[in-house]
């Protein structure tokens, strides 16, 4: 049995952290005899440069046929004025593979409590998950246009789209602390009012779940004020994008947080929640932990391969406990030093 994994290194720090992650993965898989095969596909700005498209047809068919997909990050100033942007490819692959549920964990590693910008007593024990709707909302709603005098975006949600993402969140909460917070703007937005109505309907199917609601502005405050209050946050596309960068920072750095994007069937896509970090690309200082954590998330959620995932997690924790930290976590270790140290612990 061997798993096929599609690799999308992407742009700027993307290839740097992908290479680091794959080295750590290979070292762990060797110890546990975990079999896999990788195929690399062009995606994002790199694909625009190669073939003029951020999401080439071969990348769609290759990723669709894989057992899981690893993506590092795409985008950057090189393509900001290009007729097609790398970000269009990212939205298009999410849509093409129907990856409507984006799972973004916010877990404060005890070894990193002191790295949180929050006081340790507030940050410690934080362990929640943002379930972000990923294939609808204002990112995809029609009509949309940009003219010189005006521009329009449309926030749209169908009942079916809301139901399936809420269900994903309620099911996740069942396996966790049975607490769901739906984050919305139901004091203003029609889509949010529909989300609330459907969430209340669904709650009757989940009597064991404690359901509450927060407006997104208040939620943004509470994430830094009392982050341990949350278990599963379910929210629409744009709110989830914004809150997940904020939540990531509570854990110490955006540079450590992985995510899974999944649909009802087919492969999941695993990627850091951060971008291509053009400001630090090429300096060898990118934090590889977001990519390494994306790989362990893949091993657990797509392959039920806890042995290899546990081995990597333990090596990461041991490295951090030794005080070997990348610059975004206040240390001096380069990407290469981090990678070597983690492999040594494997
Ligand atoms: P960013 O997430 O790339 O960077 C924000 C800040 O976090 C920067 O200071 C960066 O140096 C730092 N950072 C991010 N990842 C890090 C890591 N692994 N190690 C150390 N520091 C890290 O956001 P941005 O600068 O606003 O966007 C840059 C580009 O990335 C844009 O083109 C954007 O559209 C794109 N983007 C892509 C994705 C993706 O591929 N999924 C996600 C977000 C942004
Ligand atoms: C993310 C990114 C993307 C998003 C961008 C690059 C389109 O910020 O994955 O969080 O907004 O979804
Ligand atoms: Mn984002």
* Residue pointed to by tokens 């062009």: 42
Q: How many CB atoms lie within 10 A of CB 345?
A: 18
Dist CA 167 CA 185 (whole Å): 20
Ligand 1 neighbours (beta carbon < 6 A): 13, 17, 73-76, 87, 90, 254-255, 271, 274-280, 286-287, 290, 328
Q: Token pair of 145, please?
A: 């246009």
pLDDT in tens, the chain (346 residues): 899 999 999 999 999 999 999 999 999 999 999 999 999 999 999 999 999 999 999 999 999 999 999 999 999 999 999 999 999 999 999 999 999 999 999 999 999 999 999 999 999 999 999 999 999 999 999 999 999 999 999 999 999 999 999 999 999 999 999 999 999 999 999 999 999 999 999 999 999 999 999 999 999 999 999 999 999 999 999 999 999 999 999 999 999 999 999 999 999 999 999 999 999 999 999 999 999 999 999 999 999 999 999 999 999 999 999 999 999 999 999 999 999 999 999 9
Please list, residue by residue across 300-339, b when 16 or more beta carbons sit within 10 angstroms of its beta carbon and e when fewer do.
bbbbebeebbebbbebbbbbbeeebbbbbbebebbbebbb
109 contacts 123 by C-beta, under 8 angstroms = no
Tokens of 252: 């110490």
The sign one gets for the Cα dihedral 92, 271, 49, 77 is: positive
Protein residue with its CA nearest to atom 4 in ligand 2:
241
Q: Tell me whether 0.85 is exceeded by the ipTM.
A: yes
Cβ of 86 below 6 Å from ligand 2: no
Mutate to test the pocket of ligand 1, among 20, 117, 274 (most ligand atoms within 8 A of CB): 274
The tokens for 291 are 């990519």
pLDDT value, residue 117 = 97
Rounded to whole angstroms, the Cα distance separating 213 from 183 reads: 6
What pairs with residue 36 in β-bridges? Answer: 3
User: Is 185 considered catalytic here?
Assistant: yes
Is the previous residue joined to 143 through a cis bond, with omega within 30 degrees of 0?
yes
Which pLDDT score is estimated for 341?
Answer: 98
Which residue of the set 11, 184, 231, 241 is catalytic? 241
Question: Residue 322, by phi and psi: left (phi above 0), alpha (psi -120 to 50) or beta?
Answer: alpha
Q: How far is the CA of 86 from the centre of ligand 3 (A)?
A: 14
| Residue 241 annotated in active site | yes
Question: CA 297 to CA 167: how far, in whole Å?
Answer: 20
Q: Are 75 and 87 contacting, i.e. CB atoms less than 8 angstroms apart?
A: yes
What pLDDT, on the 0 to 100 scale, is given for residue 1? 82
Mark the binding-site residues for substrate, compressed into ranges: 94, 104, 132, 217
Which domains can be identified in the chain, with CATH numbers? 1-99+267-346 (3.40.718.10), 101-262 (3.40.718.10)
Q: Please name which ligand lies nearest the alpha carbon of 276.
A: 1
Q: How many of the other CB atoms lie within 10 Å of CB of 39?
A: 12
Name the pairing type of β-strands 3-10 and 260-262.
Answer: unpaired
- 10 Å Cβ neighbour count for 289? 30
Its sign, for the CA torsion 158, 212, 117, 272, is: negative
Could you write out the three-class secondary structure of the chain? CCEEEEEEEECCHHHHHHHHHHHHHHHHHHHHCCCEEEEECCCCHHHHHHHCCCCCHHHHHHHHHCCEEEEEECCCHHHCCCCCCHHHHHHHHHHHCCCCEEEEEEECCHHHHHHCCCCHHHHCCCEEEEEEECCCHHHCEEEEEECCCCEEEECCCCHHHHHHHHHHHHHHHHCCCCEEEEEECCCCCHHHHHHHHHHHHHHCCCCCCEEEEEEHHHHHHHHHHCHHHCCEEEECHHHHHHHHHHHHHHCCCHHHCCCEEECCCCCEEECCCCCCCCCCCCCCCCCCHHHHHHHHHHHHHCCCCHHHHHHHHHHHHHHHHCCCCCHHHCCCCCHHHHHHHHHHHC
273 lines ligand 2 (CB under 6 A): yes
Task: Identify whether 139 is a catalytic site residue.
Answer: yes
Could you tell me the two tokens for 341?
């140290």
């Amino acid at each position: 049995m061997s798993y096929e994994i599609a690799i999308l290194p992407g742009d700027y720090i993307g290839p740097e952290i992908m290479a680091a992650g794959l080295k750590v993965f290979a070292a762990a898989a060797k110890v546990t005899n975990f079999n896999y095969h990788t195929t690399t596909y062009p995606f994002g700005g790199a694909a625009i440069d190669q073939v003029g498209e951020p999401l080439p047809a071969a990348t769609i068919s290759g990723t669709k046929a894989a057992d899981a997909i690893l993506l590092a990050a795409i985008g950057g100033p090189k393509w900001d004025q290009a007729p097609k942007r790398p970000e269009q490819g990212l939205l298009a692959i999410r849509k093409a593979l129907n990856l409507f549920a984006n799972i973004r964990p916010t877990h404060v590693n005890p070894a990193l409590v002191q790295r949180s910008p929050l006081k340790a007593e507030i940050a410690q024990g934080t362990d929640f998950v943002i379930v972000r709707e990923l294939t609808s909302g204002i990112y995809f709603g029609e009509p949309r246009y940009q003219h010189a005098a005006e521009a329009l975006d449309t926030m749209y949600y169908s009942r079916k789209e809301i139901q399936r993402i809420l269900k994903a969140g309620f099911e996740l909460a069942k396996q966790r602390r049975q607490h769901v917070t739906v984050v919305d703007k139901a004091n203003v937005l029609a889509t949010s009012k529909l989300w609330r109505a459907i969430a209340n309907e669904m709650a009757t199917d989940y009597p064991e779940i404690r359901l509450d609601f927060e407006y997104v502005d208040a939620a943004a405050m509470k994430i830094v004020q009392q982050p341990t209050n949350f278990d599963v946050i379910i929210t629409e596309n744009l709110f989830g994008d914004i809150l997940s960068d904020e939540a990531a920072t509570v854990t110490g750095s955006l540079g450590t947080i992985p995510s899974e994007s999944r649909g009802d069937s087919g492969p999941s896509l695993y990627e850091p929640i951060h971008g291509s970090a053009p400001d630090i690309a090429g300096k060898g200082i990118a934090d590889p932990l977001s990519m390494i954590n994306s790989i362990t998330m893949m091993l657990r959620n797509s392959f039920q391969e806890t042995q290899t995932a546990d081995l990597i997690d333990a090596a990461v924790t041991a490295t951090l406990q030794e005080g070997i930290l990348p610059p975004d976590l206040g240390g001096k270790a380069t990407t290469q030093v981090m990678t070597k140290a983690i492999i040594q612990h494997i």
